[in-house]
Amino acid sequence: MTKTLVIAEKPSVAQDIVRALTPVAGKFEKHDDHFENDRYVVTSAVGHLVEIQAPEEFDVKRGKWSFAHLPVIPPYFDLKPVDKTKTRLNAVVKQAKRKDVTQLINACDAGREGELIFRLIEQYAGGAKPLGKPVKRLWLQSMTPQAIRDGFDALRSEQQMAGLAHAARSRSEADWLVGINGTRAMTAFNSRDGGFFLTTVGRVQTPTLSLVVEREEKIRKFVSRDYWEIHAAFQAEAGEYPAKWFDPKWKKNEDVEMRADRVWSQREAQAIADAVRGQKASVTEESKPTTQASPLLFDLTSLQREANGKFGYSAKTTLALAQSLYERHKALTYPRTDSRALPEDYVPVARQTFEMLADSSMRHLAPHARTALTNNYVRPSKRIFDNSKVSDHFAIIPTLQAPSGLSEAEQKLYDLVVRRFMAVFFPSAEYTVTTRISTAVGHSFKTEGKVLVRPGWLAIYGKEAADEVEGGKDGDKGQNLVPVKPGETVQTQQVDPKGLKTKPPARYSEATLLGAMESAGKQIDDEELREAMQEKGLGTPATRAAIIEGLLTEKYMLREGREMIPTAKAFQLMTLLRGLEVEELCRADLTGEWEFKLSQMEKGQLSRESFMADIAAMTERMVKKAKEYDRDTIPGDYATLTTPCPNCGGVVKENYRRFACVGKPGTEPCGFSFGKSPAGRTFETAEAEALLRDKKIGPLEGFRSKAGWPFTSEIVIKYDDEAHNYKLEFDFGDDKNAEESGELVEFADASLGPCPICSAGVHEHGANYVCSKAVPTAAQPTPSCTFKSGKIILQQPVEREQMHKLLETGKTDLLDKFVSMRTRRAFKAFLAWDKEAGKVNFEFAPSKFPPRKPAAGAFAGKTAAAKAPAKAAAAKKAPTKKAAATKTATAKAPRKAAAGAAPSAALAAVIGSEPVARPEAVKKLWEYIKANNLQDPKDKRTIVADDKLRAVFGKDSAGMFELAGILGQHLG
Using alpha carbons, select from 383, 413, 415, 394 the residue that is nearest to residue 296: 383
Residue/partner pairs of 945-948 with CB below 8 Å, 24 or more apart: 948/906, 948/909, 948/910
Residues listed for the chain: 972
For residues 842 and 71, the answer to whether their CB atoms sit within 8 Å is no
In 3D, which of 298, 296, 305, 203 has the Cα closest to residue 513?
305
Q: What is the DSSP string of 421-487?
A: HHHTTSPPEEEEEEEEEEEETTEEEEEEEEEEEE-GGGGGGT--SGGG-TT--TTTS-SSPPP--TT
The answer to whether the CB of 89 falls within 8 A of the CB of 125 is no
The DSSP letter of residue 971 is: B
Give the contacts of 834 (CB within 8 A, at least 6 positions apart). Answer: 840, 841
Please say whether the beta carbons of 291 and 428 come within 8 A: yes
* Helix (H), strand (E) at residue 318: helix 315-327
Q: Which residues contact 583 (CB under 8 A, 6 or more apart)?
A: 590
First to last CA, the chain: 48
Q: Which of 124, 227, 313, 334 is catalytic?
A: 334
Helix axes 366-374, 347-358, angle to 10 degrees: 130
Q: CA 635 to CA 638: how far, in whole Å?
A: 9
How far is 318 from 300, CA to CA, in rounded Å? Answer: 9
Residues 6+ away with beta carbon under 8 Å from 630: none
Report the candidate in 230, 209, 50 with the shortest Cα–Cα distance to residue 127.
50
String of DSSP letters for 135-197? EEE---S--SHHHHHHHHHTPEETTTTHHHHHHHHHHHHHHHHHHHHHHHHHHHHHTTTSS--
Cβ burial of 253 (10 Å; 0-12, 13-18, 19+) is exposed
Contact 929, 966 (CB under 8 A): no
- 334 noted as active-site residue: yes
- Distance, in Å, from the CA atom of 429 to the CA atom of 467, rounded to the nearest integer, reads 14
H or E segment to which residue 555 belongs? none
Locate all alpha helices (DSSP H) within 695-749, ordered by sequence.
Answer: 738-741
Q: Which residues are catalytic?
A: 334
